[in-house]
Amino acid sequence: MKLYDGGRAPNPRRIRMFLAEKGIELPLVPVDMSGMQHRSPEIGALNPFQRLPILELDDGTIITETVAISRYFEELHPEPPMFGVDALDRALVEMWQRRVELHVFVPISSAFRHTHPAMVEWEVPQIPAWGEANREKAKDALRVMNDQLATHEFIAGDRYTIADITLLASVDFMKPAKIAMPDDLANLRRWYEMASNRPSAKA
């Protein structure tokens, strides 16, 4: 089993953080995304969308998509639970994971991909106006996260979950996307300091 890893890119980092929370170590195959190595025929043969991370099992089975890979390891290593512990908890974790991914992570990623000069060859066509519009969308969604964190220690409740991992990767991605954290999000800032200090955040 091996994991094709894209270094500092947020999706590969989400998997590394997830594995760190589980205490799982895997052989990593570094892929130089800045050198467009993820667009190579080798990676394209593993994932036709040429995206990372990619998990290759011992029998040659390929699993892509960050949450799908995480779910695979959740089934193999259920402790600590990162997707919930019962029907209701799993539904709430899934709800917040989807909210964070769709309304925070995707807009931040879109802002980066459509405005950063280094992404001109990646995002074709690059549409700067769309990137700028997504900066505001991301800030609006962060206010929703801030409200949730006013009454919960973690984004999906009282336990650190995959939703927190996605939110941490998203907030950290704001810097290269040139999105400033609004000053009035005290709850989110409290959560961010806590999440950033977890050992898994360094993965």
Phi/psi of residue 72, each to 5°? -60, -45
pLDDT of residue 34: 87
Query: Sheet holding 2-5: strands in order across?
Result: 28-30, 2-5, 54-56, 62-64
Question: What spatial distance separates the first Cα and last Cα of the chain, rounded to whole Å?
Answer: 19
Predicted model pTM: 0.96
pLDDT of residue 118: 87
Instruction: Work out whether strand 28-30 and strand 2-5 pair parallel, antiparallel, or are unpaired.
Output: parallel
Condensed to tens digits (0 to 9), the pLDDT of residues 156-183 reads 999 999 999 999 999 999 999 999 999 9
* Domains of the chain, CATH where assigned: 2-76 (3.40.30.10), 87-202 (1.20.1050.10)
Which residues share a beta bridge with 62?
A: 56
Block residue for tokens 């969604």: 141
pLDDT of residue 122: 86
Q: State which residues of the chain have pLDDT below 50.
A: none
Contact between 38 and 51 under an 8 Å Cβ cutoff? The reply is yes
pLDDT of residue 100: 98
For residues 148-187, one letter each, b for 16 or more C-beta atoms within 10 angstroms of the residue's C-beta and e for the rest, the string is: bbeeeebbbbebbbbbbbbbbbbbbbbeebebeeeeebeb
* Beta strand extents in the chain (DSSP E only): 2-5, 28-30, 54-56, 62-64
The answer to whether the Cα torsion of 102, 104, 109, 115 is positive or negative is positive
pLDDT of residue 102: 98
Distance CA 152, CA 10 (A): 25
pLDDT of residue 74: 98
Condensed to tens digits (0 to 9), the pLDDT of residues 130-146 reads 999 999 999 999 999 99
Q: Is 1 exposed, middle or buried (0-12, 13-18, 19+ CB in 10 A)?
A: exposed
